[in-house]
Structure 1
Amino acid sequence: MASFDPTHTQPHGRLFGGRLSQSAVALIGRLAAWNDARVTRNALSRLSDRELYDIGLVRGDIDDIRR
């Protein structure tokens, strides 16, 4: 007699769907990090040199923001 146990779960990565969902989560995380850096660079670019100096940055530092 065959039985199905819905309380027993497979660890992530054991099934194709688990690896696929982990890849999707990683991709979404990278996209979110890229977008956050983009928004930050845009906001900093709108500041004056004096405002950047007040927060300890110079205009050249904006390009170094990766994450």
Structure 2
Amino acid sequence: MATLDTTRDSFAARGMGARSHNVFAVLRAALIDWNDARKTRIALSALSDEMLDDLGLCRADIAGITGKTIRG
């Protein structure tokens, strides 16, 4: 799973360049979150019902975990 280092200083003191940097940082974080959810959805969907049950999940739980519905 990807991680995001939130301890770095921002570029807020640099004016206009800081705003564009923040926009790209937000877009990058959103892309990372989307990709993590996509990979999780694919991995969980590939498991059998018995394996999901071992994890305490059912197929309907996958959508709640990843925030997206699954099309059968």
TM-score of the two chains, using structure 1 as the length reference: 0.76
Deviation at 1:13, TM superposition (A): 6.1
1:13 and 1:23 map into 2 onto residues whose CA distance is 15
SS in 1 for 2:12: coil
Gaps of 5+ in 1: 1-10
Pairs aligned (count): 56
> Where does structure 1 differ by over 4 angstroms across 4 or more consecutive aligned residues?
none
- How much is the aligned-residue C-alpha RMSD, in angstroms? 1.4
Gaps of 5+ in 2: 1-10, 68-72
Identity of matched residues, %: 45
Specify the alignment match of 1:63 in structure 2: 63
Amino acid paired to 1:50: E
Deviation at 1:14, TM superposition (A): 5.5
Structure with larger RCO (C-alpha < 8 A, sep 6+): 1
Specify the alignment match of 2:48 in structure 1: 48
Structure with greater Cα Rg: 1
